[in-house]
Structure 1
């Protein structure tokens, strides 16, 4: 792997870690909101979290390709 690909992979990995942290925080907030009766908001957040999960998988594949 050349230096440029390694730098790109490292940067993407940091972005993925940030995305994972944001996802976790959103999930915690969503559960808190749901417990207070706003189940509609909770359901909307779950849809967004599914999208984040899908994108995280694609990013992980891209990182693997850069590292190979």
Structure 2
């Protein structure tokens, strides 16, 4: 089904862009976390690390979905 393949490519491309955004946000949070930790706000830094873990988990799921879409 050509339409389905085109749709999968479009969705995979959009997810790829979102994944790139997610990686950029993760990098920014890492930088801010290092700065916050250096300022002695360890509880806030710990919360930021938890947010990074969520981003990593979700990035894995998004990557898997992209790979499945691109195989169809």
TM-score for both structures, normalised by structure 2: 0.91
Q: Show the counterpart of 2:28.
A: 25
Please state whether the residue corresponding to 1:37 is helix, strand or coil: coil
Larger Rg: 2
| Count of residues paired in the alignment | 68
Shift of 1:19: 0.5
> Which 4+ residue blocks in structure 1 deviate beyond 2 angstroms?
none
User: Counterparts in 2 of 1:6-21, with a 5 A limit?
Assistant: 6-21=9-24
Query: CA-atom RMSD, angstroms?
Result: 1.0
2:51 pairs with 1:48: yes
